[in-house]
Amino acid sequence: MAGVRRKRHASRTRHFYYNDRWQSLEERVESGGQVSGHADCRYVWGTRYVDELILRQRDTSSPKDGTLDEVL
């Protein structure tokens, strides 16, 4: 991975993991100062274009259980 950005939204802090083309690969939620060991959202990119998103997986359960159950 090329980089990690940390952004605070409302009451949560999210960690965004990027590749060397600055495409977001994964999002993880921070809680109590600890970053989750499970991805909240994962992205898969194509190889033809920088913005060719081919898959997004997201954990929609509450509380989060690490299962990426929504696929677009």
What span, in angstroms and rounded, lies between the C-alpha atoms of 28 and 32? Answer: 13
8-67 pLDDT per residue, tens: 777 788 899 999 999 999 999 888 888 888 899 999 999 998 899 999 999 888 777 778
- Residue 1 is predicted with a pLDDT of 62
Total-model pTM: 0.78
What residue has token string 């259980």? 65
Domain limits at 22? 3-71
The domain total for the chain is: 1
Nearest to 17 by CA among 33, 35, 32: 35
| DSSP code of residue 33 | T
CA–CA distance, 35 with 16 (Å, rounded to integer): 11
